[in-house]
Chains A and B, each alone.
Chain A
Amino acid sequence: MAETNGNPTTPTNGDGTGGNGAGNGNGKSRIATLIEGSKEVRAKAAEEIKALKQPEKTDVWKSILRVKHDETPRSRALGVLSNVFLHLHPAKINRDAVAYKYTWGMGGMTFYVYITLVFTGTLLMFYYHPSKIVAFRDILYLEHDVPFGKLLRNMHRWGAHLMVIMVELHMFRVFLTGSYKKPREFNWVVGVILLVLTLLLSFTGYLLPDDQLGFWAVTVGTNMARATPLLGHDGPFGAQLGMTPFNDVRFGLLGGSIVDANALLRAYIWHCVAIPIIASTFMVVHFWRVRKDGGISGPAPVMLESEIKDVRKI
């Protein structure tokens, strides 16, 4: 870097004199300014070289990191607070909030699996067409030809199963530890919504391979919607409200009266765009609320022996 920075100064100098020789009268002053300019450039280059040795003093460094990162508790807290990816986390947590025997870490792991699913799902979207003619062919293509296609598809599939299991285990833990109680009732409800959204993601993803299993599963699932009270044509009060197979809630889900091309496209859009956005929004609220309700619920605060002694001394 030092050399490349230094070199251009001499050629410009040479060019300048050459240009002057070809030009007219006021050459001297021009040469003078050019020399001065080149000096300035050189000085700047020298500064930059110095800065490279101490990158933390450059403007670029400061604009990205903004706070000092030394080993003091304060700057570590600032490091979390001033980072967009970490700011949802508390800057500091209680010692007992990482009591895995108590929390199982299920919420965090669920989120991790969700991130994995978003990533692998996005990659699968590069090869998948939500069309009745090619959907299943694309699955075979992914399975048998696309490099790592089988791996990605299986990561997505197993991840989806895992996410449902983890969400349920998370809910089970929260129930067992009574963590749904005041002041966390609101967050429990948000969590229940997230459970429903997770199941909906699973369900809409089921149809996408367009295989026999998915097709009949969605046939069965949407036929249950026929029996929706008021909104389904086979449900209580449905017929009285004028519901038919062509205007009820099942029709709205499928975009038709049978599981066909419209249903596949709708499942795809709900699965890949709409529900992930809705679920992500609820997740943000969910995590935020964990903090606002006093952090992850845990057992009675743990105290180190040294701390206990200190208290007794007083």
Chain B
Amino acid sequence: MANTTAEPPAAPPEQPKPGLLQAIKTILSKPEDADDSKVSARRRRFVMAAVLGTLGVNFLMFLRFFFPRTLFEPKTTFRIGYPSDFGFGVDTKFQNAHRIWVVRNTEGIFVISAVCTHLGCTPDWKASENKFKCPCHGSGYDPEGINFEGPAPRPMDRAHVELDPEGQIVVDLSKLYRWPKGERSQFGDPGAILRV
């Protein structure tokens, strides 16, 4: 096919430039020189590359498929009422609704994310023992969420808190303050505690 269609245009430049003609001739003669087995081997390689390429792209698409763009998960930002609603100590009334505890101490009010830092279970607040105890592997935390027993590697994370114009506490669970072992505590950072 390539030969028959390419030959007519090869005829006109015959008169002015023999050099060009030669060049075209050599280009055209290439497929004639190559023996059939080489051509078919190249063709097989091409087909194989095309098949593998398609499968590879499909595999990447397959992997991407498992990562949805939109999620339907509980809101991470919510209001929990006024600072005056919370007395000293641990308040567990938002544990079921938002998975948080609201704690007030002498410094102010802060919100603990009720997720054990070991493997993510929800610890129980044991009022009689004045501590949080994780039912999964026994990590224990003091009323401020500081770990003191069990496998937990660090204190429980605290959520971002701020007051809205109305004066209500707004909690943002997507901004967490951590105190990784041997590192600087973020618990004093602005937003980690309401000094009220």
Contacts and interface: CB of A to CB of B under 8 A. Distances in A.
Contact of B67 (A224, A247, A261): A247
- Which size class do B's interface residues fall under? 10 to 19
A260 B73 CA distance: 8
Contacts of A251: 67
A256 B73 CA distance: 8
Interface residues of A, number: 16
Interface string A244-273: 001100011001111011100000000000
Contacts, number: 31
What is the predominant secondary structure among interface residues of chain B facing chain A? loop
A262 to B, nearest CB: 8
B67 A256 contact: no
B73 A258 contact: yes
What is the predominant secondary structure among interface residues of chain A facing chain B? helix
B10 interface: no
Given A256-B73, A258-B73, A260-B73, A220 B67 contact: no
Contacts of A219: 119-121
Contacts of A257: 71, 73
Contacts of A256: 68, 71, 73
Contacts of A216: 121, 135-136
Interface in B118-158: 119-121, 135-136
B64 to A, nearest CB: 10
Contacts of A220: 119-121, 136
A252 B73 contact: no
Nearest to A221: B119
A260 B74 CA distance: 10
Nearest to A248: B67
Contacts of B74: 258
Nearest to A251: B67
Contact of A223 (B63, B68, B71, B120): B120
A251 B74 CA distance: 16
A228 to B, nearest CB: 14
A223 B119 contact: yes
Nearest to A259: B120
Nearest to B71: A256
Contact of B66 (A224, A255, A261): A255
Contact of A224 (B68, B119, B135, B136): B119
Contacts of A224: 119
A145 B63 CA distance: 40
Nearest to B65: A252
Contacts of B121: 216, 219-220
B182 to A, nearest CB: 16
Nearest to A258: B73
Contact of A252 (B67, B72, B119): B67
B66 A252 contact: yes
Contacts of B63: 252
Nearest to A245: B174
Contacts of A258: 73-74
Contacts of B73: 256-258, 260
Nearest to A246: B71
A223 B116 CA distance: 11
B72 to A, nearest CB: 8
A262 B69 CA distance: 13
B65 to A, nearest CB: 10
A247 to B, nearest CB: 6
A183 to B, nearest CB: 31
Interface of A: 216, 219-220, 223-224, 246-247, 251-252, 255-258, 260-262
Given A219-B121, A220-B120, A261-B72, 19 more contacts: A216-B121, A216-B135, A216-B136, A219-B119, A220-B119, A220-B121, A220-B136, A223-B120, A224-B119, A251-B67, A252-B63, A252-B67, A255-B66, A255-B68, A257-B71, A257-B73, A258-B73, A258-B74, A260-B73
